[in-house]
Amino acid sequence: MDQKWLREQTQELELALAEQGFRGSVPMVVDRQPPQVAEVPEGKLNLARFIDHTLLKPDASRLAVKQICEEAREYQFRSVCVNPVHIPYVAELLQGTAVRPCTVIGFPLGASTTLTKVMEARDAIANGAQELDMVLNVGALVEGDYAAVLSDIKAVRDAAPGVVLKVILETGLLTKEHIVRGSILVKMAGADFVKTSTGFGPGGATVEDIRIMRAVVGPDFGVKASGGVRDYETAVAMIRAGATRIGTSSGTAIIRGVEGAGEY
């Protein structure tokens, strides 16, 4: 990764935030040792601990939700990620297991008000969610309103203490510069992961974008690849590039070594 370019992006972000009234420091993304990436586990079954088993279709039935929870219990996926309406049921089905109930906030556009996202987060936690995947304010990031992006994420972080918070950039809509600055803002806001995509926008996770995100956030921060990861080889490539979590509706296909038919 070009350290000079990363330094320039960090400095431009810091200047923009200062002009927008932010009174704090921006961590410089340079002079680090090469980031450590997660070790790829041997055997497909051991890959399950990286996977958020996902069902976010608007027409998802209660029966389909039950099925993915049963699959998650069988393979011991890291979480089951569903729309907020299904979280109480998922929390009930996963009770007593190591699989975490996960839901989405401001999904899929990120264009909800901050108050709406905060209330969604509080409601999800009250219903049993242990992990939250929120979409940041994509429009604000693109137009350079970085203070708005930062405060939006931080408000959700403050509303969900102790809960794993992943922040979706929707990389298919972004330039490389946006990805760098967005990743810095996610880390500054106190989230736990930066994530590529919703799976409902243009494009999805790429190895190049994962490498950029890992270089920006350093070795001790979560990076989630989501969108278009449908087979074992792609999942492994994302982990080798720096991903520590994989979001996919093809979790069982990946573990079985076949290509999934899921859309995200």
Active site amino acids: 133, 195, 224
Q: How far apart are CA 210 and CA 223, in angstroms?
A: 7
Query: Are 147 and 21 contacting, i.e. CB atoms less than 8 angstroms apart?
Result: yes
Separation CA 104–CA 134 (nearest Å) = 6
34 contact partners, CB below 8 Å, separation of at least 6: none
Residues 6+ apart with CB under 8 A from 258: 231
Residue with token string 């108050």: 115
Distance from C-alpha of 130 to C-alpha of 162, rounded to nearest angstrom: 9
- Are residues 104 and 83 in contact, defined by beta-carbon separation less than 8 angstroms? yes
3-state secondary structure at position 35: coil
Cα 207 to Cα 150: distance, rounded to the nearest angstrom: 26
